[in-house]
Structure 1
Amino acid sequence: MTFTRPRSYHHGDLRGELLVRAEETLRESGVDGLSLRQLARDIGVSHGAPSRHFRDKQALLDALALSGFQRLDTLFSTAVLGGTFAEQLEGIARGYLRFAIENSALLELMFARKHSPNAGTELPAAAEAAFLTPVALIARGQADGDVVAGDIQRIGLAAFASMQGLATFVSSGFAPAELAEEMLSDVVTQMLDGLRPRS
Protein backbone atom coordinates (compact mmCIF):
# COMPACT_ATOMS: atom_id res chain seq x y z
CA MET A 1 0.00 0.00 0.00
CA THR A 2 1.32 3.43 -0.94
CA PHE A 3 0.54 6.70 0.74
CA THR A 4 1.85 10.21 0.37
CA ARG A 5 3.17 12.09 3.35
CA PRO A 6 2.51 15.82 3.43
CA ARG A 7 5.53 17.85 2.40
CA SER A 8 7.18 19.72 5.24
CA TYR A 9 8.29 22.52 2.91
CA HIS A 10 7.22 24.01 -0.38
CA HIS A 11 9.29 24.83 -3.45
CA GLY A 12 6.89 27.34 -4.99
CA ASP A 13 4.80 30.26 -3.78
CA LEU A 14 3.21 28.64 -0.73
CA ARG A 15 1.57 31.87 0.43
CA GLY A 16 -0.02 32.42 -2.98
CA GLU A 17 -1.18 28.79 -3.16
CA LEU A 18 -2.72 29.04 0.30
CA LEU A 19 -4.62 32.19 -0.67
CA VAL A 20 -5.93 30.63 -3.88
CA ARG A 21 -7.15 27.53 -2.05
CA ALA A 22 -8.54 29.64 0.81
CA GLU A 23 -10.59 31.67 -1.65
CA GLU A 24 -11.93 28.48 -3.25
CA THR A 25 -12.89 27.17 0.18
CA LEU A 26 -14.50 30.51 1.07
CA ARG A 27 -16.60 30.27 -2.09
CA GLU A 28 -17.58 26.64 -1.36
CA SER A 29 -17.99 26.61 2.43
CA GLY A 30 -17.88 30.17 3.74
CA VAL A 31 -15.66 31.56 6.49
CA ASP A 32 -16.59 28.73 8.87
CA GLY A 33 -15.17 26.18 6.43
CA LEU A 34 -11.72 27.78 6.47
CA SER A 35 -8.92 26.41 8.62
CA LEU A 36 -5.15 26.55 8.22
CA ARG A 37 -4.83 22.81 8.93
CA GLN A 38 -7.35 21.91 6.23
CA LEU A 39 -5.65 24.23 3.75
CA ALA A 40 -2.35 22.48 4.49
CA ARG A 41 -3.98 19.10 3.83
CA ASP A 42 -5.60 20.37 0.64
CA ILE A 43 -2.32 21.49 -0.94
CA GLY A 44 -0.20 18.70 0.54
CA VAL A 45 2.11 20.44 3.03
CA SER A 46 2.70 19.85 6.73
CA HIS A 47 0.07 21.27 9.05
CA GLY A 48 2.56 23.81 10.42
CA ALA A 49 3.63 25.18 7.03
CA PRO A 50 0.82 27.77 6.67
CA SER A 51 1.76 29.36 10.00
CA ARG A 52 4.97 30.64 8.40
CA HIS A 53 2.78 32.99 6.35
CA PHE A 54 -0.36 33.44 8.48
CA ARG A 55 -0.09 33.43 12.26
CA ASP A 56 -3.76 32.45 12.61
CA LYS A 57 -7.07 32.31 10.76
CA GLN A 58 -7.68 36.01 11.31
CA ALA A 59 -4.44 36.86 9.52
CA LEU A 60 -5.52 34.63 6.63
CA LEU A 61 -8.90 36.39 6.43
CA ASP A 62 -7.18 39.78 6.45
CA ALA A 63 -4.87 38.66 3.63
CA LEU A 64 -7.85 37.45 1.57
CA ALA A 65 -9.69 40.75 2.09
CA LEU A 66 -6.57 42.75 1.24
CA SER A 67 -6.11 40.76 -1.97
CA GLY A 68 -9.75 41.41 -2.87
CA PHE A 69 -9.41 45.18 -2.50
CA GLN A 70 -6.20 45.15 -4.53
CA ARG A 71 -8.01 43.29 -7.32
CA LEU A 72 -10.85 45.81 -7.22
CA ASP A 73 -8.31 48.61 -7.46
CA THR A 74 -6.83 47.05 -10.61
CA LEU A 75 -10.28 46.44 -12.06
CA PHE A 76 -11.38 50.06 -11.55
CA SER A 77 -8.09 51.49 -12.83
CA THR A 78 -8.42 49.44 -16.02
CA ALA A 79 -12.04 50.53 -16.55
CA VAL A 80 -11.13 54.23 -16.81
CA LEU A 81 -8.21 53.94 -19.24
CA GLY A 82 -10.20 55.32 -22.19
CA GLY A 83 -13.59 56.41 -23.42
CA THR A 84 -16.17 58.97 -22.37
CA PHE A 85 -17.37 59.57 -18.83
CA ALA A 86 -20.42 57.39 -19.47
CA GLU A 87 -18.29 54.57 -20.93
CA GLN A 88 -15.88 54.67 -18.00
CA LEU A 89 -18.73 54.67 -15.49
CA GLU A 90 -20.30 51.71 -17.28
CA GLY A 91 -16.93 49.93 -17.28
CA ILE A 92 -16.61 50.39 -13.53
CA ALA A 93 -20.20 49.26 -12.99
CA ARG A 94 -19.89 46.14 -15.15
CA GLY A 95 -16.55 45.21 -13.60
CA TYR A 96 -17.85 45.65 -10.07
CA LEU A 97 -21.03 43.70 -10.76
CA ARG A 98 -19.06 40.81 -12.25
CA PHE A 99 -16.63 40.82 -9.32
CA ALA A 100 -19.46 40.99 -6.77
CA ILE A 101 -21.42 38.12 -8.35
CA GLU A 102 -18.42 35.85 -8.87
CA ASN A 103 -16.92 36.63 -5.45
CA SER A 104 -19.92 37.30 -3.21
CA ALA A 105 -18.43 35.53 -0.18
CA LEU A 106 -15.11 37.32 -0.66
CA LEU A 107 -16.81 40.71 -1.01
CA GLU A 108 -18.76 40.12 2.19
CA LEU A 109 -15.52 39.20 3.94
CA MET A 110 -13.75 42.27 2.52
CA PHE A 111 -16.22 44.71 3.99
CA ALA A 112 -16.54 42.80 7.27
CA ARG A 113 -12.76 42.71 7.79
CA LYS A 114 -12.41 46.38 6.75
CA HIS A 115 -14.57 47.37 9.70
CA SER A 116 -13.02 44.92 12.17
CA PRO A 117 -11.13 46.59 15.04
CA ASN A 118 -8.48 43.87 14.66
CA ALA A 119 -7.78 44.51 10.98
CA GLY A 120 -5.07 47.13 11.55
CA THR A 121 -4.47 50.01 9.14
CA GLU A 122 -3.41 48.22 5.94
CA LEU A 123 -6.86 46.88 5.12
CA PRO A 124 -8.83 50.15 5.46
CA ALA A 125 -6.08 51.88 3.47
CA ALA A 126 -6.40 49.30 0.66
CA ALA A 127 -10.19 49.72 0.64
CA GLU A 128 -9.85 53.49 0.41
CA ALA A 129 -7.26 53.18 -2.36
CA ALA A 130 -9.53 50.87 -4.37
CA PHE A 131 -12.38 53.38 -4.38
CA LEU A 132 -10.23 56.41 -5.20
CA THR A 133 -10.67 55.74 -8.93
CA PRO A 134 -14.51 55.81 -8.95
CA VAL A 135 -14.49 58.89 -6.70
CA ALA A 136 -11.98 60.62 -9.01
CA LEU A 137 -14.19 59.73 -11.99
CA ILE A 138 -17.20 61.38 -10.36
CA ALA A 139 -15.07 64.43 -9.50
CA ARG A 140 -13.97 64.71 -13.14
CA GLY A 141 -17.58 64.31 -14.21
CA GLN A 142 -18.58 67.19 -11.96
CA ALA A 143 -15.77 69.37 -13.30
CA ASP A 144 -16.86 68.61 -16.89
CA GLY A 145 -20.54 69.26 -16.17
CA ASP A 146 -21.61 65.61 -16.50
CA VAL A 147 -22.46 65.11 -12.82
CA VAL A 148 -24.78 67.00 -10.52
CA ALA A 149 -23.19 69.26 -7.92
CA GLY A 150 -22.90 67.92 -4.39
CA ASP A 151 -20.76 65.88 -2.05
CA ILE A 152 -18.74 63.45 -4.19
CA GLN A 153 -18.59 60.74 -1.51
CA ARG A 154 -22.38 60.76 -1.05
CA ILE A 155 -23.02 60.72 -4.79
CA GLY A 156 -20.58 57.84 -5.26
CA LEU A 157 -22.05 55.87 -2.35
CA ALA A 158 -25.56 56.18 -3.78
CA ALA A 159 -24.34 54.96 -7.18
CA PHE A 160 -22.49 51.99 -5.66
CA ALA A 161 -25.49 51.09 -3.52
CA SER A 162 -27.46 50.52 -6.73
CA MET A 163 -24.77 48.24 -8.14
CA GLN A 164 -24.34 46.35 -4.88
CA GLY A 165 -28.10 45.88 -4.60
CA LEU A 166 -28.24 44.31 -8.05
CA ALA A 167 -25.22 42.10 -7.30
CA THR A 168 -26.84 40.91 -4.08
CA PHE A 169 -30.09 40.12 -5.88
CA VAL A 170 -28.26 38.08 -8.52
CA SER A 171 -25.85 36.23 -6.21
CA SER A 172 -28.67 35.33 -3.80
CA GLY A 173 -30.82 33.96 -6.64
CA PHE A 174 -33.51 36.62 -6.17
CA ALA A 175 -32.83 37.81 -9.73
CA PRO A 176 -31.83 35.38 -12.51
CA ALA A 177 -28.12 35.47 -13.38
CA GLU A 178 -28.85 35.32 -17.12
CA LEU A 179 -30.58 38.71 -16.86
CA ALA A 180 -27.74 40.35 -14.92
CA GLU A 181 -26.16 42.09 -17.93
CA GLU A 182 -29.50 43.40 -19.15
CA MET A 183 -30.45 44.58 -15.67
CA LEU A 184 -27.05 46.21 -15.28
CA SER A 185 -27.68 48.24 -18.42
CA ASP A 186 -30.88 49.52 -16.80
CA VAL A 187 -29.04 50.34 -13.56
CA VAL A 188 -26.27 52.19 -15.45
CA THR A 189 -28.85 54.17 -17.44
CA GLN A 190 -30.69 55.11 -14.25
CA MET A 191 -27.39 56.01 -12.56
CA LEU A 192 -26.40 58.28 -15.44
CA ASP A 193 -29.83 59.91 -15.41
CA GLY A 194 -29.53 60.44 -11.67
CA LEU A 195 -26.01 61.85 -11.92
CA ARG A 196 -26.80 64.40 -14.63
CA PRO A 197 -27.10 68.02 -13.51
CA ARG A 198 -30.66 69.31 -13.16
CA SER A 199 -31.71 72.21 -15.33
Structure 2
Amino acid sequence: MSPYHHGDLRRALLDTALDAIAADGPSALSLRDLARRAGVSHAAPAHHFRDRTGLLTAIAAEGHGLLAEALAGATDLRDAGARYVRFARQHPAHFQVMFAPNLLHADDLELTTARALSGAALTRAIATAAPADDDPRTRHTRIAVWSLAHGFATLLLGHNLDRLLADEDPEEVLRELPLFLLPPA
Protein backbone atom coordinates (compact mmCIF):
# COMPACT_ATOMS: atom_id res chain seq x y z
CA MET A 1 0.00 0.00 0.00
CA SER A 2 1.32 3.49 -0.75
CA PRO A 3 1.90 5.87 2.17
CA TYR A 4 -1.11 7.76 3.44
CA HIS A 5 -1.29 11.41 2.34
CA HIS A 6 -4.84 12.72 2.87
CA GLY A 7 -8.44 11.65 3.21
CA ASP A 8 -9.85 9.11 5.62
CA LEU A 9 -6.93 8.00 7.82
CA ARG A 10 -9.08 5.58 9.84
CA ARG A 11 -10.13 3.76 6.64
CA ALA A 12 -6.55 3.77 5.35
CA LEU A 13 -5.35 2.21 8.62
CA LEU A 14 -8.08 -0.44 8.52
CA ASP A 15 -7.23 -1.31 4.91
CA THR A 16 -3.51 -1.49 5.70
CA ALA A 17 -4.24 -3.69 8.74
CA LEU A 18 -6.45 -5.99 6.65
CA ASP A 19 -3.64 -6.39 4.10
CA ALA A 20 -1.16 -7.17 6.89
CA ILE A 21 -3.50 -9.70 8.52
CA ALA A 22 -4.18 -11.40 5.18
CA ALA A 23 -0.43 -11.74 4.63
CA ASP A 24 0.82 -12.56 8.13
CA GLY A 25 -2.16 -13.22 10.40
CA PRO A 26 -3.52 -11.10 13.24
CA SER A 27 -0.84 -12.12 15.75
CA ALA A 28 1.87 -10.42 13.67
CA LEU A 29 0.08 -7.06 13.63
CA SER A 30 1.36 -4.17 15.74
CA LEU A 31 0.33 -0.52 15.73
CA ARG A 32 3.93 0.55 15.12
CA ASP A 33 4.21 -1.73 12.07
CA LEU A 34 0.79 -0.57 10.89
CA ALA A 35 1.94 3.07 11.09
CA ARG A 36 5.10 2.22 9.15
CA ARG A 37 3.12 0.40 6.44
CA ALA A 38 0.65 3.29 6.16
CA GLY A 39 3.40 5.91 6.13
CA VAL A 40 2.13 7.82 9.18
CA SER A 41 3.52 8.67 12.60
CA HIS A 42 3.69 5.82 15.10
CA ALA A 43 1.06 7.61 17.22
CA ALA A 44 -1.53 7.93 14.43
CA PRO A 45 -3.10 4.45 14.78
CA ALA A 46 -3.49 4.87 18.56
CA HIS A 47 -5.34 8.13 17.96
CA HIS A 48 -8.02 6.23 16.02
CA PHE A 49 -8.06 2.86 17.80
CA ARG A 50 -6.42 3.42 21.22
CA ASP A 51 -4.60 0.09 21.06
CA ARG A 52 -4.09 -3.04 18.96
CA THR A 53 -7.15 -4.66 20.49
CA GLY A 54 -9.22 -1.61 19.54
CA LEU A 55 -8.03 -1.91 15.95
CA LEU A 56 -8.85 -5.62 15.79
CA THR A 57 -12.23 -4.94 17.41
CA ALA A 58 -13.01 -2.38 14.69
CA ILE A 59 -12.05 -4.96 12.05
CA ALA A 60 -14.26 -7.60 13.68
CA ALA A 61 -17.20 -5.19 13.90
CA GLU A 62 -16.80 -4.28 10.25
CA GLY A 63 -16.59 -7.97 9.39
CA HIS A 64 -19.80 -8.82 11.21
CA GLY A 65 -21.56 -6.01 9.36
CA LEU A 66 -20.27 -7.36 6.06
CA LEU A 67 -21.33 -10.89 7.02
CA ALA A 68 -24.84 -9.67 7.86
CA GLU A 69 -25.02 -8.05 4.41
CA ALA A 70 -23.69 -11.21 2.77
CA LEU A 71 -26.32 -13.39 4.45
CA ALA A 72 -29.21 -11.02 3.79
CA GLY A 73 -31.52 -12.39 1.18
CA ALA A 74 -30.34 -15.98 1.46
CA THR A 75 -33.05 -18.06 -0.16
CA ASP A 76 -32.50 -21.22 1.84
CA LEU A 77 -30.04 -23.00 4.09
CA ARG A 78 -27.78 -24.05 1.23
CA ASP A 79 -27.65 -20.51 -0.11
CA ALA A 80 -26.81 -19.17 3.35
CA GLY A 81 -23.94 -21.66 3.68
CA ALA A 82 -22.59 -20.75 0.26
CA ARG A 83 -22.84 -17.05 1.13
CA TYR A 84 -20.97 -17.68 4.39
CA VAL A 85 -18.15 -19.42 2.52
CA ARG A 86 -18.10 -16.67 -0.13
CA PHE A 87 -17.83 -14.06 2.63
CA ALA A 88 -14.86 -15.90 4.18
CA ARG A 89 -13.14 -16.15 0.80
CA GLN A 90 -13.72 -12.48 -0.04
CA HIS A 91 -12.84 -11.18 3.44
CA PRO A 92 -10.25 -13.61 4.87
CA ALA A 93 -8.65 -11.08 7.23
CA HIS A 94 -12.00 -10.06 8.69
CA PHE A 95 -12.93 -13.74 9.06
CA GLN A 96 -9.71 -14.53 10.97
CA VAL A 97 -10.32 -11.73 13.47
CA MET A 98 -14.10 -11.94 13.91
CA PHE A 99 -14.07 -15.27 15.71
CA ALA A 100 -11.01 -14.70 17.91
CA PRO A 101 -12.54 -13.31 21.13
CA ASN A 102 -9.18 -13.20 22.87
CA LEU A 103 -8.11 -10.47 20.40
CA LEU A 104 -11.17 -8.23 20.90
CA HIS A 105 -12.85 -5.85 23.33
CA ALA A 106 -15.89 -8.08 23.87
CA ASP A 107 -18.03 -5.28 25.35
CA ASP A 108 -17.43 -2.79 22.53
CA LEU A 109 -20.81 -1.38 21.45
CA GLU A 110 -19.99 -1.34 17.73
CA LEU A 111 -18.87 -4.98 17.93
CA THR A 112 -21.82 -6.21 19.98
CA THR A 113 -24.24 -4.43 17.63
CA ALA A 114 -22.59 -5.87 14.52
CA ARG A 115 -22.48 -9.35 16.08
CA ALA A 116 -26.19 -9.11 16.81
CA LEU A 117 -26.86 -8.19 13.17
CA SER A 118 -24.80 -11.07 11.76
CA GLY A 119 -26.28 -13.45 14.34
CA ALA A 120 -29.80 -12.41 13.39
CA ALA A 121 -29.02 -12.87 9.68
CA LEU A 122 -27.61 -16.32 10.39
CA THR A 123 -30.64 -17.23 12.52
CA ARG A 124 -33.03 -16.10 9.77
CA ALA A 125 -31.16 -18.20 7.23
CA ILE A 126 -31.16 -21.26 9.47
CA ALA A 127 -34.86 -20.77 10.28
CA THR A 128 -35.64 -21.72 6.69
CA ALA A 129 -34.79 -25.28 7.69
CA ALA A 130 -35.54 -25.30 11.40
CA PRO A 131 -38.33 -23.41 13.14
CA ALA A 132 -37.29 -20.47 15.31
CA ASP A 133 -38.00 -21.88 18.74
CA ASP A 134 -36.02 -23.02 21.76
CA ASP A 135 -36.47 -26.72 21.20
CA PRO A 136 -33.09 -28.39 21.88
CA ARG A 137 -33.21 -30.18 18.53
CA THR A 138 -33.66 -26.86 16.71
CA ARG A 139 -30.77 -25.29 18.63
CA HIS A 140 -28.60 -28.29 17.87
CA THR A 141 -29.45 -28.07 14.17
CA ARG A 142 -28.43 -24.40 14.19
CA ILE A 143 -25.15 -25.24 15.90
CA ALA A 144 -24.46 -28.07 13.44
CA VAL A 145 -25.22 -25.99 10.36
CA TRP A 146 -23.12 -23.03 11.51
CA SER A 147 -20.31 -25.39 12.52
CA LEU A 148 -20.37 -27.00 9.10
CA ALA A 149 -20.22 -23.70 7.19
CA HIS A 150 -17.65 -22.16 9.54
CA GLY A 151 -15.47 -25.25 9.65
CA PHE A 152 -15.62 -25.63 5.89
CA ALA A 153 -14.65 -21.96 5.41
CA THR A 154 -11.82 -22.24 7.95
CA LEU A 155 -10.42 -25.37 6.31
CA LEU A 156 -10.76 -23.75 2.90
CA LEU A 157 -8.89 -20.58 3.93
CA GLY A 158 -6.14 -22.70 5.46
CA HIS A 159 -5.77 -24.53 2.12
CA ASN A 160 -6.58 -27.81 3.85
CA LEU A 161 -9.20 -28.68 1.23
CA ASP A 162 -7.18 -27.80 -1.88
CA ARG A 163 -6.34 -31.39 -2.80
CA LEU A 164 -9.77 -32.73 -1.89
CA LEU A 165 -11.69 -30.09 -3.82
CA ALA A 166 -9.33 -30.00 -6.79
CA ASP A 167 -11.09 -27.68 -9.23
CA GLU A 168 -14.59 -27.84 -7.70
CA ASP A 169 -16.30 -24.60 -6.70
CA PRO A 170 -16.23 -24.56 -2.86
CA GLU A 171 -19.55 -22.73 -2.65
CA GLU A 172 -21.25 -25.39 -4.77
CA VAL A 173 -19.69 -28.16 -2.69
CA LEU A 174 -20.98 -26.50 0.47
CA ARG A 175 -24.46 -26.24 -1.04
CA GLU A 176 -24.55 -30.05 -1.15
CA LEU A 177 -23.24 -30.73 2.37
CA PRO A 178 -26.07 -29.60 4.68
CA LEU A 179 -28.61 -32.04 3.27
CA PHE A 180 -27.91 -34.70 5.88
CA LEU A 181 -28.18 -32.19 8.74
CA LEU A 182 -31.75 -31.18 8.13
CA PRO A 183 -34.25 -32.60 10.59
CA PRO A 184 -36.56 -35.23 9.15
CA ALA A 185 -39.83 -33.88 7.77
**TM-score, normalised relative to structure 2:** 0.79
Whether the aligned pair in 2 keeps the contact of 1:135 and 1:153 (CA below 8 Å) is: no
C-alpha RMSD of matched pairs (Å): 2.8
Cα 1:137/1:99, change in 2 over 3 Å: closer
1:157 aligns with 2:152: no
- Structure 1 residue 38: Cα displacement: 2.0
Larger Rg: 1
The one-letter code of the counterpart of 1:21 is T
- Structure 1 residue 96: Cα displacement: 1.1
Aligned residue runs from structure 1 range 129-168, under 5 A: 129-142=117-130, 151-168=137-154
Taking CA–CA contacts closer than 8 Å with sequence separation of 6 or more, which of the two structures ends up with the larger relative contact order?
Answer: 2
Which residue does 1:91 correspond to in 2? 79
Matched length? 177
Extract unaligned runs of 5+ from structure 1: 1-5, 81-86, 144-148
Within 2, Cα distance between the matches of 1:168 and 1:32? 17
Aligned residue runs from structure 1 range 1-199, under 5 A: 11-77=6-72, 79-80=73-74, 87-113=75-101, 118-122=105-109, 123-142=111-130, 151-176=137-162, 178-179=166-167, 181=169, 184-198=171-185
The one-letter code of the counterpart of 1:189 is E
Deviations 1:107-142 (CA, angstroms, capped at 9, x unpaired)? 2321113x6684214224422320212312333444
Extract unaligned runs of 5+ from structure 2: none
- Taking every aligned residue pair, what percent have the same amino acid on both sides? 31
Whether the aligned pair in 1 keeps the contact of 2:35 and 2:41 (CA below 8 Å) is: yes
Within 2, Cα distance between the matches of 1:11 and 1:28? 25
Whether the aligned pair in 2 keeps the contact of 1:101 and 1:168 (CA below 8 Å) is: no
